[in-house]
Structure 1
Amino acid sequence: MFTDTDSAPPTPRLSARMAGVARYDLPASIVVFLVALPLSLGIAVASGAPVAAGLIAAAVGGIVAGAIGGSPVQVSGPAAGLTVVIAQSVHQFGWGATCFVTAVAGSLQILFGLSRIARAALVVAPVVVHAMLAGIGVIIALQQVHVLLGGASLSSSLESLTQLPHQLLTLHGGDLLIGLVVIGILIGWRRAPRGLRIVPGPLLAVVAATLLAAVLPFRIERLTLDGSLLDSVGLPSIPSGHWTSVALTAVTVALIASVESLLSAVAVDKVRPGTRIDFDRELLGQGAANLASGLLGGLPVSAVIVRSITNVEAGARTKAACVLHGVWILVFAIAFEDVVQRIPKAALAGVLILIGVQLIKLARIRLARRTGDLYVYLVTLCCVVFLNLLAGVALGLALAFALLLWRVVRVTITAEPVPGTRRWVVRVDGTCTFLALPRLSAELAGVPLGADITVEMTVDFLDHAAYEILTDWARRRESYGARVDFVEIGTARMAGALTGPPQRAPAREVLDEALGPWRRKSGRVDPIVAGIAAYHRGHAHLMRPHLDGLRDRPDAATFFLTCADARIVPNVITSSGPGDLFTVRNVGNLVPVGGQEVSVEAALVYALEKLDVRAVVVCGHSSCGAMDALYRQVQAGPGLGDWLAHAHPSLERFRAGHPVVAAAAAAGFAEVDQLAMVNIAMQVRNLRGHSVVRRGVRERGVAVSGLFFDLATARMIEVTADGIAEFDDPGHRVTPEPV
């Protein structure tokens, strides 16, 4: 019995999705199909596999991996990165057993996906991956050069090099011409107008080469198919022995296909930010595709960056584009068998040579050189080319790990005298372990017996052996009357060497230790005494040469008037050091006028006439007790009350609606803080009216400015006569205003 719902039209959501597929994914699938077709054929030829195996893999990769995988726009198929492994497998085990290897590799990938270890596959040194791909590119180029010259690809890179002179002497002019035409078209097509490049370069080159081969009067080697695509489909063969090698090859295929697919997913995510990728599901999709491809007689597949990026740039939005591209390859392989057999082998060789060369990226070589990984790159590349892929990757990873270990445990130790004194400085920088004992003992032995010594420990790891040699050496030196001071700047502390196993101290703990005297409010230890001890232990020796150079140079760059509030630390909030600020502090950061208060007057005259300062700054702050008392009209008594009387003009301007009030209110500041900002503007005005300041502005361009420090956010705000401004721009500078 039928109901009305049986004939109901598709839901609006389904209709919208179908319209999206027709508008975006269908055109993209055709573009990717045109790119994938010649590449799949070429990779099959380069792998020593039947030509139909490349088409089977391309179709299965598109349909199976596209439907199951975890990326909506990633495209899978035969990949150049697996060419070398498959060629070796075909040579060693035969094609039928290689299909078995592919199926086993797919099963391993499914286990990887179910184990949810996909992201662990990305924990491979990028330089090793880049060198592996470059090595594969070299192998492909060396092999296909022989095909380009009319010969056959050889099994080893060394043989390809040694036989190249002979191949040059026996080259076939027709094959060489076809290959050079293809390479020329591919290179020239990159400079074609963008509108013309809708047609993929490899497709155009192969079509042009096929047409040219049909009219040239030369014998040209073409592709051959052993029957139709359906005839090529068949179950794999069980290997007869060599099970260890078979298992090793399957693991190699699974690992390379997995890493290449995940790296491709990361690259796609960079090109199309916001793409949701399930890495574990992606491995499941790749594993299912390889299992199916192996069982059907196809090459192994992986996600391919070139095809995936092409898919994204062609406008694909869903998995439909990848699946449809596999369908088009399947239809083409079945319906156009004769067309495939007209394609010259040299045309595909030209495409593959260019692909191989493009895998060798100069930018990655330069990056490896800059980062100190060039040796890892070169060793991996050479081993991949002249040994085998697995050995190259294994040796590259081993060398990368050894280099990392050397960098991690490396320690720099120097001992040198301080000129003009009897003091020596021993600097230990890095990871100080028993591995550094020979060098450490040699440097320590070079310090004269009678010298006082500062040992500067900038270490992030210190074990008991290093601690013991340092303390024993210091004890012996002190027995000769020398003074040995340990200065600990790094994250590792000597006190922790005897309390437990050595470990790296988080930088946060060191910061907490440095801020300890600030935060300590009670207890038996005087915070001033603790702070001085920490200063002597940590930074006094660094300050000593700088302060010694300032003994006869009292000049300062800035006159800095701020509040007496203990929460304001001028040198911290201005990132300045000794000799930079001539600081004057009083309650409320006030500048009395009329000569009623002489301390600020004396400081101004001294700073501007004797120290030659170039900037005058008034700095107030939020939650100011003086401004709160002024705002609430607190009767503070004869001392504080008389002083706050100098701020009454600020209160009057606040109540009258100073321009700063509106700006501060709009920024969310409370009324007391608004008053503090008005007070800053008023004190700046008082300074500009001072005769010595006016003369400094006129004769030397002295800058006068006002700052407000917000305790809640630890941010500085500039206060002007018209409002406030954030210091968001790193290039921001306080500029003088006209007087």
Structure 2
Amino acid sequence: MARHDLPASLVVFLVAIPLSLGIAVTCGAPLIAGLVAAVVGGLVAGALGGSAVQVSGPAAGLALVVAELVRTYGWRATCMITLFAGVLQIVLGRFKVARTALAVSPAVVHGMLAGVGVVIALSQLHVVLGGQPERSALENLIQLPDQIVHNHSHAVAVGVLTIGMLLLWPRLPRVSVVPAPLAALTVAALTAGVLNWDIARADLSKGFDEWATPAMPVGDWHGIAGAVLLVALLAGVESLLCSVAADRLHEGPRADLDRELTGQGVANLVSGALGGLPVAGVIVRTTTNVKAGARSRWSAILHGVWVLLFAVCFGWMVTLIPLEALAALLVFIGVRMVNLGTVRGLHGHGELPVYVLTMGAVVVIGLAEGVLIGLGLAALSALRRLTRVSVQVRLEPGDRWHVLVTGSLTFVGVPKLTGNLRAIPEGATVDLDLNVDFMDNAAFEALHGWRLEHERAGGTIVIDEIHAEWYTSAASGTRVSSAKTPPQLPERWWLPRAYRRGNPLSTIPIRHKGRWVPSRAEPGDTAGPTPGTQPGGVPDLLAGTADFQRRTAPLVRPFLTRMARRQETSHLFITCADSRVVPSLITASGPGDLFTVRNVGNFVPRYGASPADDSVLAAVEHAISVLGVRTITVCGHSRCGAMAAVLSAGEKTAGLPGLGRWLRHGDHTLARYIRSEDTGEDEGPFDRLCRINVMQQLDNLRTHPPVARLERAGRLQLVGMYFDIGAARVHVLSREGFTPVAGVRS
């Protein structure tokens, strides 16, 4: 603790003092109320909260609410409202509803804070310019030009000096260890004192005189209850969001949000009882705490101790601070609450309108009204996204139309659906894919009516539902569940076995040495291996063949029976032996489609090359002379081990004479790679070598006379292909280079 948390607590203390005083000024509360909230935020929220590094205290985001409460009910009543808000937070924390607060759209929260920042900046800018703030942000904005033109007093000089120091101080080397707010207020106070400027100064002694206990607010209880709810929710949400953000800043224990909400409630109860401002987790102090090296909650607790010692022993120093300097500090804080980084992030997710409208409503109308408007727009935006439907209609080979409907098919999407379906001509054959997670009655009626009309006109419609059978169930009159079901996937033969553990493949019984035994022991099976079986059970490969016999063989047997007497294919596919490259998977091919040759590095030895290798040559000759293939494809792939061995100049093949001789067929690839230049299209030199290898093997194919003769005659096509394993992306060689294959269906 002494090594990390003690220094961090001192840094946070130096930041907390000016911020707490400035927020108290904005709220129209006694200066001592800001320090009380800082002490309670450190000692109580720091000890009882659920975050190890979060620092709590008076928050600028609550300043507008507190200022309005002070004007409406008075300061003592505001303290009681804070106390009641704390009790409400404790109740919410005990019922473990903290994570519910995270359901509030961040766009609304950030828009609210930005709006509060604009209002604070506009009001305090009038103080900096030597005037008095108006009651609304619009009035402050209207009066601002007149303030700028006519006021050039010492107060303006103090404000400009403070803002200048806030901007300049972090850029100065070796002095940035001192927080910029503390440095700015110190310079402003010293300058005003030395030059004997005529300015207003903070008076903490008056604050002690006004330090009062809470009193029951007088007025309409509906308004008082609303104020309690507003303070509790705003302080709670800001604290919880700050906790979540703090977790991203450190590697220590994660925050317990329910405990954090309860701790904040106790802190607000104590702060209200002692005549302090409302307490919340503050991102500025929390970030400062983490950057200063804090490791545990002791940093926040100690920072509260230092604030208490300062208020008791050095409170007289506050009288040296110009009020205009505090106002300038608040202007700076208010402007920084409009975070451009947050704006860019929200814009990328399409939530910028919610942010802008919330901020504008807070500035023009008020805080509570702005938040409600923002929540309403966020809800409408979410509803629009949830009911969004995509309808794609296209003509495919064979005069078949393909219609893909994706999203939630509700009455909102009926005009779009029917408009797209009208593009399909009468009598056409239609493949309709319904990738919908919900379908209401209006959408079903529209779709079903179109289907009946299209079929009466002689058309054919084949419906494939990817999720639950919404259309089929509705057509039969069956009640449809409102819950989305997992998509109906085909047999996942293409998954690696490591991803099929626990699927039926793992427990298929297999006949072994005259007995049926499970392919793998069930979890929790402690009976030991079956007598007569091999230790560890039957290999996965046999389990896979058993699964084929049970599931797949009945489906493929009809056309395999027709293929059994003769192989008819038009494509020779030469690829690497790498286990991650599955030709039938990346080309969506089935039995009889590909005549495949696999070897290390997808090499095609040049005609007459040494060392001689007849295996590839035999396959090429058989393919073009016996099978009559019309296409030969050479397919390479990313991160090819053969290419890494070629680059190693024999180091990786030491003690492997057969592999070393075989890799000599890559010498021309290496020479071509050395002569080539980086075009910037590859992901690195190794990736470029793997691609160049495909080009070289195509040239090697052309050294074989039968291949060259058939290509010149236009009876044979050579194709280069490249499979990016990490991206699961296939590229095809063209004159411009390797081009990604575009998906036919999204």
Which residue of structure 2 lines up, in the alignment, with residue 294 of structure 1? 272
How far off its partner does 1:205 sit?
0.5
How far off its partner does 1:139 sit?
0.7
Which residue of structure 1 lines up, in the alignment, with residue 367 of structure 2? 389
Q: Which of 179, 184, 205 is matched with 1:200 structurally?
A: 179
Which residue of structure 1 lines up, in the alignment, with residue 408 of structure 2? 431
Indicate conservation of the 8 Å contact 1:272/1:312, yes or no.
yes
**Equivalent residue letter for 1:501:** V
Which residue of structure 2 lines up, in the alignment, with residue 265 of structure 1? 243
Indicate conservation of the 8 Å contact 1:607/1:613, yes or no.
no
- Distance verdict in 2 for CA 1:416–1:26, change over 3 Å: closer
Match status 1:375 vs 2:403 = no
Larger mean Cα displacement after TM superposition, 321-330 or 99-108 = 321-330
How far off its partner does 1:177 sit?
0.6
Task: Determine what percentage of the aligned residue pairs are the same residue.
Answer: 41
How far off its partner does 1:92 sit?
1.1
How far off its partner does 1:343 sit?
1.1
How far off its partner does 1:38 sit?
0.5
Which residue of structure 2 lines up, in the alignment, with residue 611 of structure 1? 631
How far off its partner does 1:459 sit?
2.7
Which residue of structure 2 lines up, in the alignment, with residue 223 of structure 1? 202
Which residue of structure 2 lines up, in the alignment, with residue 133 of structure 1? 113
How far off its partner does 1:316 sit?
2.3
**Partner Cα distance (1:562, 1:39) in 2:** 66
- Distance verdict in 2 for CA 1:432–1:149, change over 3 Å: same
Q: Which of 349, 353, 357 is matched with 2:327 structurally?
A: 349
Indicate conservation of the 8 Å contact 2:57/2:282, yes or no.
yes
How far off its partner does 1:145 sit?
0.6
**Equivalent residue letter for 2:96:** R
Indicate conservation of the 8 Å contact 1:464/1:502, yes or no.
no
Which residue of structure 2 lines up, in the alignment, with residue 182 of structure 1? 162
- Distance verdict in 2 for CA 1:702–1:125, change over 3 Å: farther
Which residue of structure 1 lines up, in the alignment, with residue 439 of structure 2? 462
**Partner Cα distance (1:345, 1:531) in 2:** 89
Which residue of structure 2 lines up, in the alignment, with residue 571 of structure 1? 584
Indicate conservation of the 8 Å contact 1:54/1:298, yes or no.
yes
- Distance verdict in 2 for CA 1:61–1:527, change over 3 Å: same
**Equivalent residue letter for 1:375:** P
| TM-score, normalised relative to structure 2 | 0.71
How far off its partner does 1:342 sit?
2.2
Which residue of structure 2 lines up, in the alignment, with residue 312 of structure 1? 290
Which residue of structure 2 lines up, in the alignment, with residue 40 of structure 1? 20
Which residue of structure 1 lines up, in the alignment, with residue 229 of structure 2? 251
**Per-residue CA distance 1:674-702 (angstroms, 9 max, x = gap):** xxxx99999999999xxxxx9x9688156
Task: List runs of 5+ in structure 2 lacking aligned partners.
Answer: 495-503, 506-543, 561-568, 605-611, 638-651, 668-692, 703-723, 732-746
Q: Which of 207, 211, 215 is matched with 2:190 structurally?
A: 211
**Partner Cα distance (2:616, 2:24) in 1:** 96
How far off its partner does 1:302 sit?
0.8
How far off its partner does 1:277 sit?
2.1
How far off its partner does 1:409 sit?
0.8
Q: Which of 13, 29, 33 is matched with 1:49 structurally?
A: 29
Match status 1:700 vs 2:689 = no
How far off its partner does 1:97 sit?
0.7
Indicate conservation of the 8 Å contact 1:560/1:582, yes or no.
no
- Distance verdict in 2 for CA 1:443–1:70, change over 3 Å: closer
How far off its partner does 1:485 sit?
2.9
Match status 1:69 vs 2:69 = no
Query: Which secondary structure state, in structure 1, belongs to the residue aligned with residue 479 of structure 2?
Result: coil
Alignment of 1:224-623 (within 5 A): 224-225=203-204, 227=206, 229=208, 231-413=209-391, 415=393, 424-488=401-465, 494-497=471-474, 498=476, 499-503=478-482, 505-507=484-486, 509-511=488-490, 522=550, 526-528=554-556, 558-560=573-575, 570-572=583-585, 575-577=586-588, 583-584=594-595, 601-603=621-623, 611-615=631-635
Indicate conservation of the 8 Å contact 1:425/1:455, yes or no.
yes
Which residue of structure 2 lines up, in the alignment, with residue 633 of structure 1? none
How far off its partner does 1:137 sit?
0.8
**Equivalent residue letter for 1:239:** P
**Per-residue CA distance 1:536-586 (angstroms, 9 max, x = gap):** xxxxxxxxxxxxxxxxx9676x425989x9x996322xx23469x983369
Kindly report the root-mean-square deviation, in angstroms, between the aligned alpha carbons of the 2 structures: 4.4
Query: Which secondary structure state, in structure 1, belongs to the residue aligned with residue 248 of structure 2?
Result: helix
How far off its partner does 1:256 sit?
1.2
**Per-residue CA distance 1:606-640 (angstroms, 9 max, x = gap):** 899963544599xxxxxxxxxxxxxxxxxxxxxxx
**Equivalent residue letter for 2:699:** R
Indicate conservation of the 8 Å contact 2:37/2:279, yes or no.
yes
| TM-score, normalised relative to structure 1 | 0.72
**Partner Cα distance (1:184, 1:444) in 2:** 64
Which residue of structure 1 lines up, in the alignment, with residue 522 of structure 2? none
Task: List runs of 5+ in structure 1 lacking aligned partners.
Answer: 1-19, 533-552, 618-658, 664-677, 689-693, 704-725, 734-739
**Partner Cα distance (1:123, 1:234) in 2:** 37
Indicate conservation of the 8 Å contact 2:77/2:217, yes or no.
yes
- Distance verdict in 2 for CA 1:679–1:472, change over 3 Å: farther
Indicate conservation of the 8 Å contact 2:570/2:627, yes or no.
no
Indicate conservation of the 8 Å contact 2:85/2:228, yes or no.
yes
Query: Which secondary structure state, in structure 2, belongs to the residue aligned with residue 66 of structure 1?
Result: helix
Query: Which secondary structure state, in structure 2, belongs to the residue aligned with residue 275 of structure 1?
Result: coil
How far off its partner does 1:461 sit?
2.6
Count of matched residue pairs: 604
Indicate conservation of the 8 Å contact 2:597/2:616, yes or no.
no
**Per-residue CA distance 1:306-354 (angstroms, 9 max, x = gap):** 1112122222223222222112212222222332122111101111111
**Equivalent residue letter for 1:274:** G
**Partner Cα distance (2:665, 2:185) in 1:** 83
**Per-residue CA distance 1:206-236 (angstroms, 9 max, x = gap):** 011111111335421212335463x444311
**Partner Cα distance (2:559, 2:56) in 1:** 63
